[in-house]
C-alpha cells in the first residue's frame, strides 16, 4: 500500500515539489508554449493603453481576447485525465460533453493530480481526503488542518469522470432522502396561516434534489382533509436547519408575511452549537500565527461580512468586500460545554444564504464552524446544529403580533 500526497495549484511558486505527486500538465516551463504565448498576450496591454485611435484600440482588445480564449482552450486540451478503466479524456472534452466550459485552474487541484498519478502507476485508490493547510484567504472559509469536500465547479465534473469504475461510497453531500423520517410539528394553524417546527434534514420547499419538503407535506395534509386549501411558502430554512417556519393559505397572506420579512418587521433568533476550537497556535513560514478566537460564556458582539455565492462551488457562499451583499449578525455565547463546544444565540439583521454558517466559521467571524456543518469545515458527523428558535410577526388578517419559540434537539 502506498500513500500519495498532493497540493492544489503551486507551492512557493513551484508545480513540482519532492514528496508530492507532479501536476497533470506543467504550465511553469519558462520555454514552454504557455509561457511564450502568455508573454505575447501580456505585451498587448501597454499597446492598448497607449493607443489613441479607438478603432485600433478595439481591434487590439479583440485580438487579446481571442488569443486568451485560444490559450485557455489549449491548456484544457493538454490536461488529459484518466479513470480506473484506462479511459482518457481532456479536461476540455469532459466538460464539453456536459455542455459546460471548464473554469480556469481545472485539473490543477490536489485530488485530480493524485488520482492521475495513481492510475499512471498502476495503483488503485482506496481512500482519499483533502484538507486545508495554512491561513484562510479572506474570501473563503478555511481552517488550518480541517477537511473539506472538493469544489463542485472545477472538480465536480472532473472527478465524476476520474472516479468512474471505482467502487465509491455515496457522496455525503448528496445523501438526500425522499422518505419523511420526522414529521414537522404544527405549532399554530387557522384559516390564514400554519406555523410548524421543521426537523433537520427536510427541505422547506421542493427543490432540484429528490427530497421531501415541508411545503409538500403540508399540501398533502390539506388535500387529505379535503378542504381545497392551497399552501404557500413565506420564507425558508436550509435543509439541515431545524426550527420555526410559517406558511400561508392565500396569496394575500403570503404577500403580507413576505413584505414583513423584506421590511425587517419580523423578529427572529437562532441557537447553534459551535464546534470545539483547537486553541493550539499554528505557525506559518512567514512567522505569522493563527489562533482560534477565544470565546466564553456571556460574550456578545456582532459579525459583519458581505456575502455572495461562490459560483464555482455552489451552494457554498463566500466573503466578497466588493460585490458581496451586506450581512450583519449579533451573537451571544450562552454556555460552554464540557467538550469545548459553545452554545450560541444568533440574531441575524439580514437574511443572506448561509449567513450564520459563514459568520460562524469564517476566520474574521467567530472562527468556529457550526457543529455538523460539513460544507464549512466541521466533519465530525451528525446533524447541523443550527435551530431557528424564535419568530415574531404580525398576523396577516388580524394584525396581532404572534410569537413562537421552540427548543433545539441537537442529538
339 and 214 belong to one structural domain: yes
236: region left, alpha or beta (phi > 0 left; psi from -120 to 50 alpha): beta
Q: Which three cell numbers stand for residue 160?
A: 465524476
For residues 381-408, average pLDDT? 96
246 beta partners? 195
Q: Is residue 22, in this structure, part of any structural domain at all?
A: no
pTM of the model: 0.78
Q: Are residues 262 and 382 in the same domain?
A: yes
Q: Is residue 6 a part of any domain in this protein?
A: no
Say how many domains are in the chain. 2
For residue 158, the SS3 value is helix
Residue 279: is its pLDDT beyond 50?
no
CATH number at residue 368: 3.30.2350.10
Same domain, 301 and 373: yes
Structural domain includes residue 218 = yes
Give the whole-angstrom CA distance, residue 69 versus residue 45.
16
Report yes or no on 347 lying in a domain: yes
Q: What is the pLDDT of residue 154?
A: 87
- Please report whether residue 9 resides in a domain: no
For residue 39, pLDDT over 80 is answered with yes
In a domain, 315, yes or no: yes
% of the chain beyond a pLDDT of 90: 69
CA dist 150 and 152 (Å) reads 6
Angle between helices 54-78 and 33-42 (to 10 degrees): 160
Q: Are residues 253 and 336 in the same domain?
A: yes
Chosen domain end from 173, 196, 221: 173
Q: How far apart, in whole angstroms, are the C-alpha atoms of residue 229 and residue 246?
A: 15
| DSSP category for residue 93 | H
At 185-211, the pLDDT tens digits run: 999 999 999 999 999 989 999 877 777
Query: What spatial distance separates the first Cα and last Cα of the chain, rounded to whole Å?
Result: 38
The more confidently predicted of residues 279 and 185 is: 185
Mean of the pLDDT values across residues 390-396? Answer: 97
- Per-residue CA distances from 162 to 21, 44, 186 (Å): 16, 38, 46
Please return the burial class of 229, using the count of CB atoms within 10 Å of its CB with bins 0-12, 13-18 and 19+.
middle
pLDDT band at 278 (very low <50, low <70, confident <90, very high): low
What count of residues does the chain have? 411
Residue 176 has a pLDDT of 53
pLDDT at 289: 47
Q: Provide the pLDDT for residue 338.
A: 86
Kindly report, residue by residue over 69-114, the tens digit of the pLDDT: 999 999 999 999 999 999 999 999 999 998 888 998 899 999 999 9
Same domain? For 152 and 273 the reply is no
Region 53-69: what's the mean pLDDT?
95
DSSP code string of 189-219: E-SSEEEEEEPTT-BSS--SSS--BHHHHHH
160 plus 187 within the same structural domain:
no
Q: Which pLDDT does position 225 carry in this prediction?
A: 84
What's the confidence (pLDDT) of residue 146? 80
Residue 49, in any domain of the structure = yes
User: Which of these three, 126, 152, 173, is where a domain ends?
Assistant: 173
Q: Both 161 and 281 in a single domain? A: no
What are 172-191's pLDDT values in tens digits?
Answer: 555 555 555 678 999 999 99
**238 in active site:** yes
Half-sphere exposure of 132 (CA within 13 A, CB side): 20
Give residue 117's pLDDT: 96
Average pLDDT over residues 256-281: 87
Structural domain boundaries, residue 229: 180-411
Name, in order, each residue with C-beta under 8 angstroms of 29's C-beta and a sequence gap of 6 or more.
Answer: 35
Asked if 104 and 210 sit in the same domain, the reply is no
Beta bridge partner(s), residue 308 = 318
The verdict on 186 and 298 lying in the same domain is yes
Q: Does pLDDT of 23 surpass 90?
A: yes
Going by the DSSP 8-state scheme, the letter that residue 322 receives in this structure is T
Whether 365 contacts 358, CB under 8 Å: yes
Band of pLDDT at residue 16, cut at 50, 70 and 90: very high
- Sole residue written with cell 463546544: 341
> How confident is the model at residue 175, as a pLDDT?
53
- Same domain, yes or no, for 215 and 147? no
Which stretches does DSSP call E strand in 282-354?
Answer: 282-283, 289-290, 300-304, 307-309, 317-319, 328-336, 342-348
Quick check: is 346 in a domain?
yes
Specify whether the CB–CB gap between 44 and 66 falls below 8 A: no
Among the candidates 116, 140, 173, a domain finishes at: 173
293 — pLDDT class (breaks 50, 70, 90): low
252 and 161, same structural domain? Answer: no
Strands 386-394 and 401-405: antiparallel
Share of the chain above pLDDT 70, in %: 93
Would you place residue 382 in the very low, low, confident or very high pLDDT band (cuts 50, 70, 90)?
confident
Residue 223: is its pLDDT beyond 80?
Answer: yes
The catalytically annotated residue of 238, 240, 373, 378 is 238
Say if residue 225 is in the same domain as residue 118.
Answer: no
Amino acid at each position: 500500500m502506498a500513500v500519495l500526497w498532493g497540493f492544489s495549484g503551486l507551492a512557493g511558486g513551484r508545480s513540482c515539489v519532492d514528496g508530492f505527486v507532479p501536476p497533470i500538465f506543467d504550465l511553469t516551463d519558462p520555454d514552454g508554449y504557455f509561457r511564450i504565448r502568455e508573454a505575447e498576450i501580456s505585451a498587448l496591454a501597454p499597446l492598448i493603453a497607449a493607443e489613441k485611435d479607438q478603432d485600433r484600440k478595439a481591434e487590439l482588445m479583440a485580438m487579446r481576447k481571442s488569443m486568451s480564449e485560444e490559450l485557455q482552450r489549449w491548456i484544457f486540451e493538454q490536461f488529459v485525465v484518466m479513470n480506473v478503466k484506462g479511459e482518457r479524456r481532456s479536461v476540455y472534452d469532459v466538460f464539453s460533453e456536459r455542455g459546460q466550459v471548464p473554469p480556469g485552474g481545472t485539473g490543477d487541484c490536489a485530488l485530480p493530480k493524485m488520482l492521475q498519478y495513481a492510475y499512471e502507476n498502476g495503483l488503485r485508490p482506496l481512500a482519499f481526503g483533502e484538507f486545508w493547510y495554512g491561513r484562510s484567504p479572506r474570501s473563503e472559509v478555511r481552517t488550518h488542518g480541517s477537511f473539506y469536500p472538493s469544489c463542485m465547479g472545477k472538480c465536480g465534473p472532473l472527478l465524476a469522470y476520474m472516479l468512474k469504475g471505482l467502487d465509491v461510497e455515496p457522496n455525503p453531500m448528496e445523501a438526500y432522502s425522499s422518505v419523511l423520517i420526522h414529521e414537522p410539528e404544527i405549532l399554530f394553524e387557522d384559516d390564514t396561516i400554519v406555523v410548524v417546527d421543521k426537523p433537520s434534514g427536510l427541505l422547506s420547499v421542493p427543490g432540484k434534489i429528490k427530497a421531501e419538503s415541508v411545503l409538500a407535506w403540508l399540501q398533502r395534509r390539506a388535500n387529505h382533509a379535503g378542504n381545497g386549501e392551497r399552501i404557500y411558502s413565506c420564507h425558508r430554512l436550509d435543509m439541515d436547519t431545524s426550527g420555526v417556519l410559517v406558511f400561508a393559505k392565500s396569496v394575500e397572506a403570503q404577500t403580507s408575511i413576505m413584505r414583513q420579512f423584506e421590511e425587517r418587521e419580523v423578529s427572529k433568533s437562532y441557537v447553534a452549537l459551535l464546534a470545539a476550537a483547537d486553541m493550539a497556535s499554528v505557525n506559518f513560514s512567514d512567522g505569522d500565527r493563527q489562533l482560534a478566537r477565544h470565546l466564553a460564556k456571556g460574550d456578545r458582539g456582532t459579525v459583519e461580512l458581505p456575502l455572495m455565492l461562490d459560483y464555482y462551488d455552489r451552494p457554498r457562499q463566500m466573503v466578497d468586500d466588493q460585490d458581496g451583499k451586506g450581512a450583519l449578525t449579533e451573537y451571544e455565547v450562552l454556555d460552554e460545554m464540557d467538550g469545548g463546544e459553545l452554545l450560541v444565540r444568533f440574531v441575524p439583521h439580514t437574511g443572506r444564504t448561509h449567513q450564520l454558517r459563514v459568520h460562524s466559521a469564517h476566520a474574521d467571524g467567530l472562527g468556529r464552524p457550526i457543529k455538523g456543518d460539513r460544507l464549512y469545515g466541521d466533519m465530525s458527523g451528525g446533524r447541523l446544529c443550527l435551530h431557528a428558535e424564535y419568530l415574531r410577526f404580525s398576523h396577516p388578517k388580524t394584525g396581532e403580533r404572534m410569537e413562537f419559540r421552540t427548543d433545539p434537539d441537537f442529538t
